[in-house]
Structure 1
Amino acid sequence: MDHGSPSQEHVSHLALDIGGSLTKLDYFSRNNECSNGDNNEEKSCSKESLLVSNGDKKCPVLQGRLHFAKFETSKINDCLEFIQRNQLHLGGCQHGGAPGNEKRIIKATGGGAYKNADLFKEKLGIFLDKEDEMDCLVAGANFLLKAVHEEAYTYIDGRKEFVQIDRDDLYPYLLVNIGSGVSMIKVDGDGKYERVSGTNVGGGTFWGLGRLLTKCESFDELLELSHRGNNRVIDMLVGDIYGGMDYTKFGLSSTTIASSFGKAISDNKEIEDYNAEDVARSLLRMISNNIGQISYLNALRFGLKRIFFGGFFIRGHAYTMDTISVGVNFWSKGEAKALFLRHEGFLGALGAFTSYEKHGFGDSIVRQLVQQSPLSASHAGYKIHGPLNGEWNDNESIECSVYVN
């Protein structure tokens, strides 16, 4: 992401999702300059250069970027400094009071929006208008699944395959959001949902136990360790119990994990004899398997065929996705597949972002994000698009257009 300082009049609608482990933010910024077209005859400017229909109205289109960034919540001051340095809060909505004395309102969600409200007011002079966390998660997921051409995908045996979602046949589905803990939400429509289950064994568990067991200083460092590890050194497999054989009566292959960390009680090794890489791999496998199994059982409970997984625990990490996919496939006997989201970690922040429209704040309400791609000329519904051929990265921005009221 560009860490320059966009002019405040070109920034609008900063939104925050302050979780227990990570703080996520997004905001829209208009292009500061005109850029030449391919033939030097066409230009794309920050000024309104196109009108699109929105019912009986004509709405101006602005060119710009939708930016995303994340920070560790334990280092919330890094987020505050980033907002201050880039003057993101100065382009927010103003509400009430005499001219010059209006409150600057920023949409925020997550438990940290309550915990850190005074800090944001003291350091930046802004008021956090708090949106319900579950409302935002669902709104963000619906936003993406309806808007983005290639948002949902499966990951099986190392292969990513995008799944086309029919926006008219989206509901119901199970949304599994894996943050510090895990929430499982049955979504029946826009604003219609029920939290049906969850587990306290989630991303915070992986990070916390991993830090205790491996001395890693960050979530990403722990993930990198797991990438280099071999869980079979520590996990007890069916084959370890049955002399290398499958347990065919119940369809259990010899490589199925019978007990996570089970070998640690039978090996004549000291704790320091185990490699941190293998410990991290076993831990990731245990938590991912558990989430995959509980998710499918809840989908089965409500007769749901689609399970979407989001949250920054996944991070587009191949082994995590593969483990969850294998778990869902195993317990469903191949009838269900795990579906992942490209913008997995920003569901809550996007939900908070779209809530500006719901509450009618500001003079320039974001009505629609339109992907800049010849593949779509549609102006119906929200549109947002990241790189077609690249992986989603942290602290990234994407080209987009918006039409406004």
Structure 2
Amino acid sequence: MDLGVGELGTPGNSKPHQPSGQISHLALDIGGSLIKLVYFSTSDDVDDETGRSATESLSVYNGNKKYPVLKGRLHFAKFETTKIYDCLEFIQKNQLHLGGCQHLEASPIDKAVIKATGGGAYKYADLFQEKLGICLDKEDEMDCLVAGANFLLKGIHQEAFTYMDGQKEFVQIDHNDLYPYLLVNIGSGVSMLKVDGDGKFERVSGTNVGGGTFWGLGRLLTNCKSFDELLELSHKGNNRVIDMLVGDIYGGMDYSKIGLSSTTIASSFGKAISDSKELADYRPEDIARSLLRMISNNIGQISYLNALRFGLKRIFFGGFFIRGHAYTMDTIAVAVHFWSKGEAKAMFLRHEGFLGASGAFMSYGKCGLDDLMVQLIQQFPFTASPAGDT
């Protein structure tokens, strides 16, 4: 299993976390590259890393209805889609698929239905039925992305932040002034959605150059076996060995007339044109760095241009391509800053890769849980929990 997302929403070498207490509301986002899980558990655990209680209480009232007090936490976990059997084993081992809605009189059949989104919800539906005896209740992918983003931005403290020059700054979100915004979800490919409200959005653009491109090309060029290995490799690289800079063309000088510094990339991988080298002559670290920078720059630029189309100053970036990676965030942020001349800012999400799964989690509201889910967003200070390798 891939590393889970802990309290700060970034990959970390956290020890495996086995959820205690009662599990409910498992939701899945089964993508082309990764399977993401979000589930709720009641628990009285103390967070090992912070020493603080990992539980919060909530009494939900709605007219004459009173739901039970909830104590617990949200858990986030992910697997590579190619390792789907590890995911199935994790679900079965922890009995994540057996948790029912305790404030409803759910039948055994109801308990065997799990909310899921992404293409894999269709592709692997029979496998989940065969191995776990559960039906995947399929939710629309774009609906879930938007619902998940809105849920996280409204429901989790310090979810959004800016990042530039190594400085992270959390952004206070005014729930009354959240919309409109541009949501850029970077998965295997990239979708760009103009969000105007709860359930109100339009997919305005996208690009096929995304996380799958980075992973696919990186695997071919460096022989890395995983996305995380490729990302780690990029830490050690120098893209200037391969990228052609403005200074390389202008004898080390800026092209100040049009606002280009000598260190601006004129052509990604451009030096490979004139170098009499073979692939084996280049360091894999430099290739990984150049590839990451090329894709991140491209996404940042296209995102701003689409924000400009609709007069949007607020751009949120999500998806597991980012993974809290400093260089990736900095590159995207610089691209947005450069093309907008400082008028727009890139903002990132702590639980960036779990938008779809979170939206699928929220879709349980369609099954008679509307009041509970509204209260969860408005009142419940969620605590995110890591779920590590199994």
| TM-score of the aligned structures, taking structure 1 as reference length | 0.84
Give the Å deviation of 1:149. 2.3
The corresponding residue for 1:254 is 262
The corresponding residue for 2:361 is 353
Deviations 1:337-373 (CA, angstroms, capped at 9, x unpaired): 10000110000000000110122269x9555448xxx
Residues 1:55 and 1:274: Cα distance change in structure 2 (over 3 Å) = farther
Matches of residues 271-310 of structure 1 in structure 2 within 5 Å? 271-310=279-318
The corresponding residue for 1:224 is 232
CA distance in 2, matches of 1:366, 1:302: 31
Alignment of 1:129 onto 2:137: yes
Deviations 1:299-342 (CA, angstroms, capped at 9, x unpaired): 00011110000000000000000000010011111111100001
5+ long unaligned stretches in structure 1: 36-43, 371-379, 388-392, 397-405
Amino acid aligned to 1:91: G
The corresponding residue for 1:14 is 26
CA contact (8 A) 1:367 1:382 kept: no
CA distance in 2, matches of 1:279, 1:287: 12
CA contact (8 A) 1:236 1:259 kept: yes
Paired positions, count: 367
Amino acid aligned to 2:18: G
CA contact (8 A) 1:143 1:382 kept: no
Give the Å deviation of 1:90. 1.2
Matches of residues 162-311 of structure 1 in structure 2 within 5 Å? 162-311=170-319
CA contact (8 A) 1:173 1:187 kept: yes
CA distance in 1, matches of 2:69, 2:221: 52
Local SS of the residue matching 1:296: helix
- Please tell me whether Structure 1 or Structure 2 has the larger radius of gyration of its CA atoms: 1
CA distance in 2, matches of 1:33, 1:138: 31
Matches of residues 60-139 of structure 1 in structure 2 within 5 Å? 60-92=68-100, 104-139=112-147
Give the Å deviation of 1:102. 5.6
CA distance in 2, matches of 1:158, 1:73: 32
Deviations 1:122-154 (CA, angstroms, capped at 9, x unpaired): 000000000000000000000111122211111
Local SS of the residue matching 2:115: strand
CA distance in 2, matches of 1:146, 1:246: 44
Amino acid aligned to 1:122: E
Local SS of the residue matching 2:204: strand
Give the Å deviation of 1:51. 3.5
The corresponding residue for 2:35 is 23
Name the Cα RMSD after superposition: 2.7
- Say which structure, 1 or 2, has more relative contact order (CA 8 Å, 6+ apart): 2
The corresponding residue for 1:400 is none
Local SS of the residue matching 1:228: coil
5+ long unaligned stretches in structure 2: 1-14, 48-52
The corresponding residue for 1:4 is 18
The corresponding residue for 1:399 is none
Give the Å deviation of 1:31. 1.7
Amino acid aligned to 2:27: A
Question: How many percent of aligned residue pairs carry the same amino acid?
Answer: 77
Residues 1:382 and 1:355: Cα distance change in structure 2 (over 3 Å) = farther
Of 360, 374, 382, which aligns to 1:384?
382
Local SS of the residue matching 1:313: coil
CA contact (8 A) 2:97 2:111 kept: no
| TM-score of the aligned structures, taking structure 2 as reference length | 0.88
CA distance in 2, matches of 1:290, 1:322: 13
